[in-house]
Structure 1
Amino acid sequence: MKTYEELLSDIEEDIDLMGTSHTVYAGMEDGRITDYDYLPSDSCTISITLKELQESLHQKLLYERASHFAMSTDKTAPKLAVIFPGIGYTVDKPLLYYSIQLARHYGYQIKSISYESLPGNIKGNSEKMKQAFDIAFKQTEQLLKDLDWSSYGEILFISKSIGTVIASAYISKYNLVAKSILFTPLTETFQFSLSGAIVFHGTSDPWAKTPSICTLAEQKEVPVFLIENANHSLETEDILNNLSILRTTMEHVKHFISGE
């Protein structure tokens, strides 16, 4: 079975010869693209252009790297998950609530951050956004000041909206080696390194435009899960569709947390 790196190298050579729009046939095994060929066969049945296949494999490679980022070989060391909510999206709301349940299931201790006295109506107001970040970041530092980060074998940050900026800034300031789940990040989040991070973004998110998020994520080599027509809560107007979105999202979160 070829690695993603090997497949991407083969695709690059084929694109040079045949162009990005040339159709090939990919093969899947256990949800993983394992090979491709120029003609359909028993093992390669999925019709796809070289460009589409390249983009898909690149995202899968980034996700694989992120999901195995800084995994500890010491299975007895404690693990910690820190939760950074949004201003209105608290830890009892679906994305964070079920992520916490999954983290706890895989042996993580849970530490939740809460913010107080933040300014309202910050959307579109850079001054208020900066003020909210400064207040929330100071509160975060106070809440986490007694933690001995070196005592944990694995550290996981799960964040939402402005919480993605706070979490990423904290990792950067304190030089932590941590995996990150970024739910609906703001563009400000991408000023940081974001090693070991994955992103979930709705294409109808009014807080962050999809082209900007995709461009910034590509620059930082961060895998992005795009949810079509979803808003800043990764929801649409269709309630049953929202349940499907939540289930799919949590499946990705589960695999990311477990490293499986």
Structure 2
Amino acid sequence: MHTKDCIMTKDIKQEVYRNQNRTQKLMVLFPGMGYTCDKPLLHYAKAYGFLYGYDILCINYGKMTFDKSKVLSSIAPAYEIAKEALNMINLTNYEKIIFISKSLGTVVAGQLSKEYTMDIQNIFLTPLKETIPYMENSEDVTISGDHDPMLSCDNLQLIQEQPITSFVFPNANHSLEVEKDPVQSIDYLHQVAKIYEKICV
């Protein structure tokens, strides 16, 4: 069982779900622009966090709707909000920490995971080219679509050359969905869920 709590960062409410049994496992969800923690890829990550007894922090950047032209300029303010929330949680209380991030959130999670001394495992969902420098931990996982308009073919190839586990879903877009093929989209979501399960257990 979990209890829902809230912490405030820069007047933005951050949701924290705490395991009623004391736990040393933490999951942090870093959304994208307009892709909140309640959307499928992150919703099911949270579901596995509940299932396997993690405390869960859902980062909220505030009002940040998707605008491709503003992604890069949004990284710094998103980073500041996420760092403040993490400092309020106190990561030193945990032995196992997983960052699960989406799009813009992958850059933020990558930056932060390099700043802390404890081991942090990342799952980068639809990463950006700016995330590539943070793909150094062999335990990390990245999941991309080969029809993602936010990622060039060259950068997708570069991601696959990094020393991490990389999955590429054919015909999938920036949401890891296939246009006009909901069954395939659901299958990809199922594959992502199996990756969560393997890492969270």
TM-score category, normalised to shorter length: 0.7 to 0.9
Q: CA separation in 2, counterparts of 1:251 and 1:87? A: 25
1:212 aligns to what? 155
Q: How does 1:214-253 map onto structure 2 within 5 Å?
A: 214-218=157-161, 220-236=162-178, 237-253=180-196
Q: CA separation in 2, counterparts of 1:178 and 1:208? A: 25
Structure 2 residue corresponding to 1:200, chosen from 137, 143, 147: 143
Q: CA separation in 1, counterparts of 2:65 and 2:192? A: 30
Q: CA separation in 2, counterparts of 1:245 and 1:166? A: 24
Bigger radius of gyration, 1 or 2?
1
Q: CA separation in 2, counterparts of 1:202 and 1:225? A: 8
TM-score (norm 2): 0.82
1:48 aligns to what? none
Q: CA deviation at 1:161?
A: 0.4
Unaligned runs of 5+ in 1: 1-75
Structure 2 residue corresponding to 1:154, chosen from 96, 100, 111: 96
Unaligned runs of 5+ in 2: 1-21
**1:229–1:193 Cα change, 3 Å:** closer
Structure 2 residue corresponding to 1:187, chosen from 123, 129, 133: 129
Number of residues paired by the alignment?
Answer: 178
Q: CA separation in 2, counterparts of 1:129 and 1:105? A: 33
Give a deviation string over 1:27-84, Cα, whole Å, max 9, x none: xxxxxxxxxxxxxxxxxxxxxxxxxxxxxxxxxxxxxxxxxxxxxxxxx851000000
1:59 aligns to what? none
Q: Among all aligned residue pairs of Structure 1 and Structure 2, give the percentage whose two residues are the same amino acid.
A: 32
Instruction: Tell me if the contact between 1:234 and 1:245 (Cα under 8 Å) persists in the aligned partners.
Output: yes
Give a deviation string over 1:13-36, Cα, whole Å, max 9, x none: xxxxxxxxxxxxxxxxxxxxxxxx
Instruction: Tell me if the contact between 1:199 and 1:223 (Cα under 8 Å) persists in the aligned partners.
Output: yes
2:17 aligns to what? none
Q: CA deviation at 1:118?
A: 4.1
Structure 2 residue corresponding to 1:103, chosen from 9, 27, 49: 49
Q: CA deviation at 1:222?
A: 1.4
Aligned residue identity for 1:247: H
Aligned residue identity for 2:38: D
**SS at 1:86's partner residue?**
coil
1:116 counterpart = 2:62? yes
Q: CA separation in 2, counterparts of 1:160 and 1:171? A: 15
**SS at 2:142's partner residue?**
strand
Aligned residue identity for 2:131: T
Instruction: Tell me if the contact between 1:168 and 1:194 (Cα under 8 Å) persists in the aligned partners.
Output: no
Give a deviation string over 1:162-209, Cα, whole Å, max 9, x none: 000000101112334111111100010012244121011001000012
Question: Which has the larger strand fraction?
Answer: 2
1:49 aligns to what? none
**SS at 2:88's partner residue?**
coil
